[in-house]
Structure 1
């Protein structure tokens, strides 16, 4: 058993796993992405005894591989999805209010290359509605000279000006962890690396699930629950039939050093070939570029990875928008790809035109949910619980929205730390921020070069955040596997010095984990090595 990682994760959940899994629960949530975490939080804060299990790591799937944007979705508004956009904008505002330091405003600049005044007015009208939903006025038009000062590296030829508006960004994996931590404060439990082998039934009614501990191979457990909620995202629906048909779509991204693509705000642009929206924005000390929208045909058992056509497509957009920078694939630090659970319209429409609504379907003792957006996870959770309420006799919560996270005191540090850094630690780690600071050793309250991550965040994750494998630590608890070349290989000696003892791994285990992580990073997070004939679907 992993003494370091297991013993401290929110009170030793895995250390007491046999006892934990023999309890009877009101709700068993399957899936440790943002949707499952949101359901766990909303259920537990409303008095339900709730347990979440995740077959891999928390946020392993789509919820650590998103575009990192908390946004209303302007293109969804343009496609007529007014209700979805209104809901997303309102949830964005709630997250900005309740999760400062984790969800932060991000200004966007959209260059206009000779678009008609009518098209410009249409865009501004759409943004006016966007702002109306948020109760603020952020949009404005800048002429070519003003816009060039705002975004000095954009192409000048034909630049008529640009539109500026505000959305938000986050660290999606940390958003999941913060939500699970908040659920724990309300008495919930969550365990990673627990797979569902089958459902328990009494006649045709689901009464729980047979679970297996994949981390320790400790055998099978029968867990009883009044209601099982399948929140597996793109994997949802594998436990029961009757749900909507999904169209898994892959979105791939690039990370570049901020000095190669320096941006004071996000740049939103239209791809020169097919007119799809592409963006680049500052994130965690690097510049993040995305995204593609292609049908994912490689199956869901393995991690998704960018293809050569997707890499070329994104580089083509950058080279057209920032011609003077002469960006090449050698400038790319890392790549990543995620598979979105998009509902299939059945019409064969281009991927980027499909909506991002969620779907819920119910059986006896089982409720399943899929689709939706990162931004709207709380709204989805409340909708799921409304559908679930008839199957939980005696529980009659009104399910009115309440603050997503309770206020947290800013930690005090042994030396003076900048207010933005303390805000960041508070947002990302919530009530554990003070313990993280207190655990830091000499030099660990300094940034890892090239990132906004502190060395102390590695120590704390290894000590207290259910790390089972090295990729959990470097790709999800922290993001340095995305932010440093080679996945952080150049800093591995110091990472090992900080984390090995906290994890309770002997030398052989560390070497095994490092080799596995290096191979994983090379396959799924580096530049694609082989050509592919897979097309990039036009908008």
Structure 2
């Protein structure tokens, strides 16, 4: 089985949508070995691992790439230290190994992040239990480090934390990422192997099925309005929290859990590393950490009972919960809701085992086959490669003419040397290579005068917006502002103050007339108010 041909755009770089939307009909009319439904990190990982092993693989996503959970995660690539408490040793070990692989293979996109945890009188878990967990964590990672620091030494590393009752502190290492850009980088790598990914293509129904096996799907392109019959030897349902929608009687019961976050200016909550704490009300882990020029505070873990087709949003109760954690841990900073730049909320696909406390539900992934449809759900951002390889192991019996080595490979090909990005500072070159890999050089070359400068208050270069508009299947302004870049949550009011320059750069690239731009801007700003702002701002 040979992969589909790679596609190049007019500027020498691959297009996400080869030849524009006009070629969608031709692509969907082809026969595929694998049809992957869902454009989050799980689906993207499956597309990459399948494509690089010679399968003709197509991914379709009903909204935008990373629209759901994978652009609204906690942005952490971690081994799951807290899962040790629940006895999930296998999940923690797998997560530690995958975290280390991402740190090795995706520098500039996945970066180390120190975590500091204050040791207070009477606070659980106690010092001994925490250090025991870290000893196990270190052993899984094959490393050893000093973890405990006295009170004065710890305060020098975390100067704004509450001093009352502080006995010392514990420090350890995990990692952070830009989750939406991670999805895009995985899709880019899949495309280099011949994989095809189409956004705004929703599956309306499955083709085949009981009494015979599923052999494709009926797909509607939201841009053209046309409906297409897609034929595939195997269909994989990788829609996460939405997995139940393709099953009449799903074999596993999903429990959608919402995790909400606050975004603060970095100057208002200045941190050199993540501060991890146990919430004063219920003992759940909460954190605050520096990310992309801002500070993120999260997360909640509550049952999400609203329509999954509607974007999730933080509630007032969740806002109060996170503010209470800030007031308890950083009392001298007197942070208020007026300091919040933005909020965001995502829905996690967790398997329901009936636990009263949502936080105690396992984060393992599960797979099952029903009428020939292979479904995968659950899991973590960190373990997407391991999940994808597990899917391919289950898929192999359905693809009798395909044989492949399913041992893990490097997640990304090594990018060109930084010397080829001489126009960038060393830090910017590292970021560009991490986010764009082999395309980083072309992105920098496409930048016009002044476009390698950063958007004020962020670490995003203006040139990244031009590149996204030209090459990354942007169909709506929200795609550009919330996922190709993260300006919508990094800047006040969704980045209203910079929309003029964004328009000057991107409108010609997108080919939108003034009426289209005005409509897109109005819809985007309304979305920011309804789903990325504090609840009081929606009233």
For residues 372 and 379 of structure 1, what CA distance do their matches in structure 2 show?
Answer: 10
Does 2:425 match 1:425?
no
CA-CA distance at 1:7 after TM superposition: 9.7
Structure-2 residue corresponding to 1:12: 19
Structure-2 residue corresponding to 1:536: none
Contact kept in structure 1, 2:257 and 2:348, CA below 8 Å: yes
Does 2:451 match 1:444?
yes
CA-CA distance at 1:197 after TM superposition: 1.1
Contact kept in structure 2, 1:258 and 1:287, CA below 8 Å: yes
1:138-537 equivalent positions in 2, closer than 5 A = 138-201=145-208, 203-217=211-225, 219-240=226-247, 241-346=249-354, 348-410=355-417, 416-529=423-536
CA-CA distance at 1:11 after TM superposition: 3.7
CA-CA distance at 1:431 after TM superposition: 1.3
Contact kept in structure 1, 2:529 and 2:537, CA below 8 Å: no
TM-score, structure 2 normalization: 0.95
Q: CA RMSD in A?
A: 1.9
For residues 496 and 115 of structure 2, what CA distance do their matches in structure 1 show?
Answer: 33
Q: Which runs of 4+ in 1 moved over 6 A?
A: 3-7
Structure-1 residue corresponding to 2:4: none
Does 2:63 match 1:56?
yes
**How far does the alpha carbon of each residue in 1:199-241 deviate from its partner, in whole angstroms, 9 at most, with x for none?**
1117421111111111121x11111100000000000132223
Structure-1 residue corresponding to 2:6: none
Partner SS for 2:415: coil
Contact kept in structure 2, 1:54 and 1:193, CA below 8 Å: yes
Contact kept in structure 1, 2:124 and 2:283, CA below 8 Å: no
Contact kept in structure 2, 1:285 and 1:452, CA below 8 Å: yes
CA-CA distance at 1:119 after TM superposition: 2.9
For residues 352 and 334 of structure 1, what CA distance do their matches in structure 2 show?
Answer: 24
For residues 372 and 179 of structure 1, what CA distance do their matches in structure 2 show?
Answer: 17
Does 2:69 match 1:86?
no
Partner SS for 2:95: helix
CA-CA distance at 1:140 after TM superposition: 1.1
For residues 17 and 437 of structure 2, what CA distance do their matches in structure 1 show?
Answer: 13
Does 2:47 match 1:34?
no
Contact kept in structure 2, 1:308 and 1:531, CA below 8 Å: no
**How far does the alpha carbon of each residue in 1:337-376 deviate from its partner, in whole angstroms, 9 at most, with x for none?**
0000000002x42011111011100134310011010000
The gaps in structure 1 that reach 5 residues or longer are 533-539
For residues 286 and 229 of structure 1, what CA distance do their matches in structure 2 show?
Answer: 37
- Gap change, CA 1:443 and 1:118, over 3 Å in 2: closer
Identify the match of residue 66 of structure 1 among 64, 73, 84.
73
Contact kept in structure 2, 1:31 and 1:52, CA below 8 Å: yes
For residues 390 and 229 of structure 1, what CA distance do their matches in structure 2 show?
Answer: 14
For residues 339 and 4 of structure 1, what CA distance do their matches in structure 2 show?
Answer: 38
TM-score, structure 1 normalization: 0.95
For residues 96 and 47 of structure 1, what CA distance do their matches in structure 2 show?
Answer: 26
CA-CA distance at 1:14 after TM superposition: 3.0
